Amino acid sequence: MNYDPRSWKVHHGSTHRFDEPAPAIDNGSARPDPARYHDPEFAKAEWDRVFTKAWLLAGPSADVREAGDWMKFDTGAESFIVVRADDGTLKAHYNVCPHRGSRLVSGDVGSQSSFTCPFHSWRFDLDGTNLAVTDPETFRPEVLCHDHNLTSVEVEEAAGLVFIRMDKGGQGLADYLGPILPMLETYQIDRMNPVQYRRSDWAANWKGGIDAFYESYHLHAIHPQTMGIIDDRTHIDLYPGGMSRQFVPLGQPNSHFEDQNAVNPGIEVLLKDAGIDPANWRGDAQNSRAAIAAAKRDRASRLGLDYDRFSDAQLTDSTIFGIFPNAQIGCHPEAVFLHRFKPHADDPGQFTYETTILYRHVDVPGYGAPGWMGLGEEVDLTGETRPDVVHTGLGVPPGMGEVLDQDSDLLPTVQAGARSRGFRGPLWGEQEARLRHFHTTLDRWLGA
């Protein structure tokens, strides 16, 4: 290996445990068959051997804090209800009435003491036990001897996030997440609340979405406007089980950006966000990132926030975790971004991109969300109001800001080429080490 994705010194001599590189994993240099991006048979195998057997990120714990709180989680052709039961434990059920199959809930979140089917008003408690069959005397007893409770699936919580698993068996969630679990825990996501929730349908395979979000190699080409402030010199770590992380340095220029020294307008915005007045600041673009880290640390100690658990890189950068198979979490001290790439029920050429911003409310004057997060004035950051999901259809710009709209424009173009007879399979560089790691893990599950 002549290039080690762990070798770029993004941590400036940090001794913080969090920044320690993971042991190298060699996933080889092969060129995989591109059928994975478009073949319906491949998509079916993926569903049968991966999605039904893996822990899937269903949503934040914040959506199901109190008894009766529930959230709906849709993926592929399936829909689940995750609900906090009266005894405080979490339950997860197929969103399916055992009578004739109807969906029980159609909202995204809610709170109630029992579920009533919209078709014939059968009722179920939060545990999924049947409470009432309407007109039971009109059923032959042998019919009602069949199990008529909801069908439940496994559910566990970790790091403020709820995961479900359709098929029983295999590792518990903590073992499944492995080394990234304690890292995620440093963000105390359980104390955060959703402040923005977007869902949009994209004309690409779900793995095309995973791939694009797993590397910053494309920044210079698709998102040139970020080159002043997002560095593509990065640090990538791979962990067993298809998990990974990547530090995306913010507040310093990209390697392809011409002026590596001037404090450009983008960096000025980030300095201001951290409480530094760019007019009086004397450094250049090579130390603006360090200055932001120091300022955030300083501000945290003034506000009584415990930032000692974070390394400097965690304070400034986007620290992005990949959770196999289809979730990514962009982590910041102030907020985390949950990204999910949901396969389409029938068409391998489509997926649904879902993104949720979870924000930690700090009730101190002068504290707020960094400007680049794009949370408008009208957003209630206190966590009191659970925002509605905004859903945009295929071909509609998702309206998630310039960067994501650029991605949604390009991904169908990548998908169109990836399904061509003329495409012989991807050639991944070490900047794309997370893609290779993800696909290698996927292939392992498919072969299993």
Q: Which residues bind other proteins (CB under 8 A)?
A: 1-3, 5, 29, 31, 34, 37, 211, 217-218, 220-222, 255, 349, 410, 413-424, 426-431
Cβ–Cβ < 8 Å for 292, 271? yes
Give the span between the Cα atoms of 91 and 150, in whole angstroms: 11
Reduce the DSSP state of residue 409 to 3 states and report it: helix
- Which structure tokens are listed for 306? 């415990």
**Which of 31/444 has CB closer to other proteins?**
31
Can you list the positions of beta strands (E) in 305-415?
Answer: 318-323, 327-331, 335-343, 351-359, 390-392
Backbone angles phi and psi of 126, in degrees to 5? -65, -30
Q: Is 427 or 448 the residue whose CB approaches other proteins more closely?
A: 427
Cβ closest to other proteins, residue 269 vs residue 410: 410
Quick check: helix, strand or coil at residue 373?
helix
Q: Which phi and psi angles does 407 have, rounded to 5°?
A: -60, -45
Q: Which is nearer to other proteins, 326 or 415 (CB)?
A: 415
Q: Which is closer to other proteins, CB of 16 or CB of 419? A: 419
Q: Please report how close the Cβ of residue 175 comes to other proteins at its closest, in angstroms.
A: 31
CB of 402 to other proteins, least distance (A): 16
Instruction: Provide the token pair at 437.
Output: 């790691």
Q: What is the largest CA-CA distance in the chain?
A: 84
For the bound state, the minimum distance from the C-beta of residue 413 to other proteins, rounded and expressed in Å, comes to 5
Task: Read off the tokens for 256.
Answer: 């392809």
Between 33 and 388, name the residue whose CB sits nearer to other proteins. 33
For other proteins, the closer CB: 37 or 372: 37
Q: For residue 313, what is the enclosing H or E element?
A: helix 312-316
Report in angstroms how near the CB of residue 391 gets to other proteins at its nearest: 23
Decide whether 10 or 153 has the Cβ nearer to other proteins: 10
Q: Cis omega before residue 32 (within 30°)? A: no
| Cα–Cα distance list, 297 to 188, 308, 309 (Å) | 17, 8, 11
The CB-of-217 to other proteins minimum distance in angstroms stands at 5
**In terms of residues, how long is the chain?**
448
Instruction: State the minimum distance, in angstroms, from the CB of residue 250 to other proteins.
Output: 20
Positive or negative: CA dihedral 34, 36, 38, 39: positive
Q: How far is the CB of 385 from other proteins (least distance, A)?
A: 38
Tell me the DSSP string of 320-340.
Answer: EEEETTTEEEEE-SSEEEEEE
Residue type, 74: D
Can you tell me the distance from the alpha carbon of 103 to that of 94, in angstroms, rounded to the nearest whole number? 9
Is residue 195 within 8 A of residue 91, CB to CB? The reply is: no
CB of 164 to other proteins, least distance (A): 31
* Least Cβ distance, residue 46 to other proteins (angstroms): 18
Residue found by looking up tokens 């890292």 in the block: 183
Residue 1 or 77: the one with the smaller Cβ distance to other proteins is: 1
